[in-house]
Structure 1
Amino acid sequence: MIKKWLSTLRGRLFALLAVLGAVTSLAVGGATYVSVRAEADALFDYQLRQTALSLRDQGQVAPDEAAVLADPSFDYVVQIWSLQGLSLYSSRPQGMTEPLPARAVLGYSNLRLGGQDWRVFGAATPLRVVQVAQPLRVRQRLAALAALRSVLPVAVALPLVAAAVWWLIGVSLAPLARVTHAAQARGATALEALPTAGLPGEVAPLVDAFNGLLGRLAEAFETQRSFVADAAHELRSPLTALKLQLGLLRDSAPGPEQAASIARLRGGIDRAVRLVEQLLALARAEPGAQSAGLPLDLAELARQAVSDVRPLADTAGVVLTLTAPDPLPLTGDPQSLRGALRNLIDNAVKYGARTVQVAALRGERGAPLLRVDDDGPGIPPEARERVFDRFQRGEDASVEGSGLGLAIVRAAARQQGAVVQLADAPLGGLRAEIRWPRAARS
C-alpha cells in the first residue's frame, strides 16, 4: 500500500516535503531548546546575583526575610559572614546535609555538596561576605520545562502543517487530475484536445505537445478516411466496367466482336491495375510512412525514370531529352523519387506535349533539383494548387488517368524533405520542379 502511494506524484511530493519539514522542525526545535535552556540558566544566575547583592549591605536579616529564606520550598541557600569569619546568618533547606564552605569564592562557582551539584555566587563588602547557592538539578529542571514549553508549539503545528501541505498538493495537482480523467473517459476515436486550463507551467508543455499529437492524428485519420472513400469511389467505376465487359465477352460470338471485347477487357484490367498501383504509391508516400533513407544518385535515378517513360513518349511522338551532367549523391527513397519523377514525365507526355526536357542538376546553394519542362497546354496559375488534390484530373477529359499523379509527387517530395513547384516553362508549357532546400549529404 505504501509503495503504491509513493508511486503517485502527490505521494512523492508529500513524502519529500514531510521529510524536509521533519528535519527542519527537529533542527529548529533543537536550536530553540538549547537557546531557551541557555537563557534560563542566564536568568537564574541573574536572580542568584541579585539575591546576594540585596543582602550584602544589610546589617542583619530582618525577621520576615529570615522567615522567607527559611521556607523549605525556597530553593536558595543563603549564608552571611562577617569579615572576621563570624556567621551572621545561615539558611539550610530541607535535605541539605552539610553547610556551604566557610571560605567563599567571589563571583560564580560550582560546588558539590551532599551528593549534588550547586551553583554559588559570592559577594563581599567592607563589612560582610554573602554567599547564595542553588541546586543545579532545580535549575536544570526549570530550564528544561521552559525549553519544552517553547518547543511544544512546533510539535503541535507539525501535523497541522503536514495536513495543509497534503491539501495544497492536491489543489495544485487538481488540473492534472482533470486532464487524466478527461483522457481516461474518452473513447478510442475521440481525438479532441485535452483541457489545459490551470495546468502548472511544468506540465502544460507536455499536455500541449500531446494535444498537438492528437491534432496530427485527427488530421491523419481524416485524410485516411477521405482517401479510403475516394479510392472506393474511383475503384467502383473500373470494376463495374470490367464486370460489364466480362458480360459482353461472355455473350459475344467468336470472331472480331469477341476479340474487341477481349481488348476492351484487357484495357480495363490495365487501368484498374494502374489505379491500384497509384493508390499503393500514394499510401507509401503519405506522412508517417517509413522512408528508406538509402544513398542514391539523383542523376542516375533521372536516367532510369526517363527510360521508364521513353516507350510511351516514342509511341506518342514526343521528343524526350535528359540533362544530367554530374552525379548528384543524396540520401532518400529511390523507389519513391523515381516514381514521382516518372509521374511528372508521364503527365507531360499524356497531356499533349511534343517536347519534354528533363534535368537533374544543382540549384541554388548547391541543392539538388529535378526539373521537367514541356511545351504542352500547361496549367493556369489559379489551378496549379488544386491539381495536387487526390483524384483531380486535368481539363482534358480524353486523357486517361487516376488523378493521383501529382498527389503522389507532392507526398513523395515531402517524405524526402523536398518541395514541388509549378511554373511557366521556357518552352511555353509547364515547368515542374522538385527542389531540396539545401545541399544533401550522401
Structure 2
Amino acid sequence: MKWQSTLRGRLFALLAVLGAVTALAVGGATYISVRAEADELFDYQLRQTALSLRDQGRVAPDEAAALADPSFDYVVQIWSLQGLELYSSRPQGMTEPLPARAVLGYSNLHFGGQDWRVFSAATPLRVVQVAQPLAARQKLAALAALRSVVPVAVALPLVAAAVWWLIGLTLAPLARVTQAAQARGATAMEALPTTGLPGEVAPLVDAFNGLLARLAEAFDAQRSFVADAAHELRSPLTALKLQLGLLRDSAPGEQQDAAIARLRTGIDRAVRLVEQLLALARAEPGAQTASMSLDLADLARQAVADVQPLADKAGVALTLAAPDVLPLAGDPQALRGALRNLIDNAVKYGARTVEVSALRGARGAPLLRVDDDGPGIPPDQRERVFDRFQRGEDVSVEGSGLGLAIVKAAARQQGASVALGDSPLGGLRAEIAW
C-alpha cells in the first residue's frame, strides 16, 4: 500500500503495533487482576454469610424466604453437632442437599455435575455451611473484568487517531520542504526552507542546499565560460574568414604566399585557443579527473621539454632543478599543462632566464616553482590576472588570457593552490603548492 511507503505510514504502523501490544498486555493484566479481586470478594461474601448465621439460634422466616429465592445462587445448610439438619436451602433445579462436611473454612466441592466453593463455620451448638457454584462466580468475575477492559478498548482507536495526527503535525515541515522542491523549476537553485525541521532531517536539507549552491556556482561558471568562449572565438574566426578572402583575391606569388602564412598563423591561433578552452573546461569544478600515482620531477622535465623549442627560439635560458623522484597522486595531464602554461608565460613576457624547480616545501609537501627575470606583474594586479581572458599589460604578446586561469583551476582541482610573488631573479615567482 502507498501509506506503507511513507515515513508517516511507517511510523504509525510501528507505533500502532507497539500500542496494540501494550494495550493487550495492560488489558490482560487488568482482566486477571479484576478476576482475582472478584474471587476474593465472593469468598468474603461466603464467609460473612456463614458468620452471620452462625450465632443465630434459628433462621428467621424473612431470612428463610430470602435464602429460598430462586435467584439467590447461594446454598445455606445448618446442622447440629449431632448431625441433625436444622436448615437447608436449595436453589432452583437442585433436587438434593449438599453433603454434610466437617471441613471448616474454605474448600472446593464437586457435586451434582458442577463445582462449588464452600465455607464452613462451627459453634459449640451448630455447624453452618454456605456454598456457591463456581460457574456463577466465574461468570460474574468475567463480566466485571470485561467491564474494566472496555475503557482500554475504547481508548485504543482514539489514541491511534491522535498519534496519526501528531505524526503528521511533526512531519509538516518536511512536507513543506517536499512541496517546495516539487514546485521548483529546472533552473531554480535557491535554498530549500529549513525552518522548523527536526534535528534528524535538518542536516540532510542543509547538505542538499549546499549541493544546490555548488550546482548554481557550476552553472554560473558554465554560462560564463560559454559566453566568454563564444566572444573570444568570434574574433579569430572572423580573422580567418577575412584572411581566406584575401587569399582568394591575392595574385599567385609572394602576395599569395604571405596570405597563406597569415592564414596558417590564424588557424594555429584558433587551434591554440580551442585547446586552452578545452583545458579550462576539464579543470572546472565538477569535471571528471584522473588521479594516479605520478612522478612530479619527471612531469616537470616533460613540461620543460615542451617549452624548450620556444625558449631556444626566443633566446631564453631555461633550466630545471628537480630530484630523481618526487611521488604524488594526481592528474598528470592537468599538472603538466598547468606547469607548461607558467613556463610559457615566463618565456613569452620578456624573461631572459627561467628557472623551474620541483621540490618539497617547508612542510615536506610537493612544490612546483617557476622563477624568471622578466618585467613581472605589479602586486595589485596579481589576483586579477587569474581571471579568464585577462591579458598582461604587454598586448604585443600573442595569447588569449587563459593561461593563468587554467593554472589556477587545475591546481584547485588537484588539491593545490597557486600563488604569485617576487622572484630572487628580479622578475616573477609562480608556485603551485600542496
1:376 pairs with one of 349, 374, 377: 374
Q: Secondary structure at the match of 1:117?
A: strand
5 Å-filtered alignment, 1:298-377, equals 298-377=296-375
Superposed CA RMSD in Å reads 1.4
CA distance in 2, matches of 1:112, 1:139: 15
Q: Secondary structure at the match of 1:365?
A: coil
Cα displacement (A) at 1:308: 1.0
5 Å-filtered alignment, 1:20-99, equals 20-99=18-97
Q: Secondary structure at the match of 1:191?
A: coil
Deviations 1:265-309 (A, max 9, x none): 222111111111100111111111222212221111111111111
Query: Structure 1-normalised TM-score?
Result: 0.95
2:111 matched to which residue of 1? 113
Instruction: Give % identity.
Output: 88
Q: Which amino acid is 2:213 matched to?
A: G
Deviations 1:162-214 (A, max 9, x none): 22222222222222222222222222212222222222222221121111111
2:256 matched to which residue of 1? 258
Greater shift, 76-85 or 331-340, is seen at: 76-85
1:151 pairs with one of 149, 153, 160: 149
Deviations 1:114-148 (A, max 9, x none): 21111100111222211111111111110000000
1:425 matched to which residue of 2? 423
2:290 matched to which residue of 1? 292
Q: Secondary structure at the match of 1:364?
A: coil
Cα displacement (A) at 1:336: 1.1
Greater shift, 132-141 or 321-330, is seen at: 321-330
Deviations 1:323-342 (A, max 9, x none): 01331122221111111101
1:228 matched to which residue of 2? 226
Residues 121 and 131 in structure 1, CA contact (< 8 A), matched pair in contact too:
yes
1:388 matched to which residue of 2? 386
CA distance in 1, matches of 2:337, 2:10: 56
5 Å-filtered alignment, 1:236-275, equals 236-275=234-273
Cα displacement (A) at 1:29: 1.1
Q: Which amino acid is 1:65 matched to?
A: E
Residues 104 and 131 in structure 1, CA contact (< 8 A), matched pair in contact too:
no
Cα displacement (A) at 1:262: 2.2
Q: Which amino acid is 2:417 matched to?
A: V
1:197 matched to which residue of 2? 195
Runs of 4+ in 1 over 3 A off after TM superposition: none
CA distance in 1, matches of 2:78, 2:380: 120
How many residue pairs end up in the alignment? 434
1:440 matched to which residue of 2? none
CA distance in 2, matches of 1:206, 1:379: 45
Deviations 1:401-429 (A, max 9, x none): 11110111111112211111111111111
CA distance in 2, matches of 1:328, 1:412: 19
CA distance in 2, matches of 1:208, 1:328: 40
Greater shift, 167-176 or 314-323, is seen at: 167-176
1:184 matched to which residue of 2? 182
Deviations 1:199-240 (A, max 9, x none): 222222112111111111111000000000011111111111
Residues 286 and 411 in structure 1, CA contact (< 8 A), matched pair in contact too:
yes
Q: Which amino acid is 2:40 matched to?
A: A
CA distance in 2, matches of 1:311, 1:232: 31
Q: Which amino acid is 1:161 matched to?
A: V
Greater shift, 316-325 or 142-151, is seen at: 316-325
CA distance in 2, matches of 1:303, 1:71: 121
Greater shift, 229-238 or 10-19, is seen at: 10-19
1:169 matched to which residue of 2? 167
1:403 matched to which residue of 2? 401
CA distance in 1, matches of 2:55, 2:305: 129
1:134 matched to which residue of 2? 132
Q: Secondary structure at the match of 2:363?
A: helix
1:439 matched to which residue of 2? none
Q: Secondary structure at the match of 1:13?
A: helix
CA distance in 2, matches of 1:373, 1:206: 47
Q: Secondary structure at the match of 2:30?
A: helix
Q: Secondary structure at the match of 1:366?
A: coil
CA distance in 1, matches of 2:236, 2:310: 22
Q: Which amino acid is 1:135 matched to?
A: P
CA distance in 1, matches of 2:57, 2:8: 75
2:212 matched to which residue of 1? 214
Q: Secondary structure at the match of 1:344?
A: helix
Query: Structure 2-normalised TM-score?
Result: 0.97
